Amino acid sequence: MSTLKADTIQNTSGGAVTLTNQYAAKSYINFDNDGTSIFKSVNVSSLSDDGTADYAFTMTNALTDANHVVSLGFHSAGKNPRLVNVAPDTSVTTTYLPLEGMTTTTGAADESGITDICILVNGDLA
């Protein structure tokens, strides 16, 4: 068995190594529930708060297609779980992902009690 030890792995130009044809996480964002503060992100250029329980973010580097595999979670203060539609319309692109209709289990738009939102996007970079 061989062991590979390295402190830094770079591409031939000295930049970051790109994973291709692998559906690993390519974008991550953790933001507050009013859409004004991004706590941590990778491959995210902007975030918008488009109304109550309605957000969107734009990725810096495009994915190969608009069929994102998205995982999301919430930190909340004892509220019931939410139902979320991720890009329920045709506005999703290789770099743009709207999150619309965050609702309670009764269907009412609601973001109360949520302190922050975490989203992970898997796919392949273009």
* Domains in the chain, number: 1
pLDDT in tens, 32-57: 877 778 999 999 999 988 877 778 88
Q: pLDDT at position 14, please? A: 87
Amino acid identity at 106: T
Asked, for residue 18, whether it belongs to a domain, the answer is no
Asked, for residue 114, whether it belongs to a domain, the answer is yes
What DSSP assignment string belongs to 82-107? -EEEES-STT--SSEEEEEEEE-TTS
Asked, for residue 78, whether it belongs to a domain, the answer is yes
pTM passes above 0.75? no
What range defines the domain where residue 94 resides? 26-122
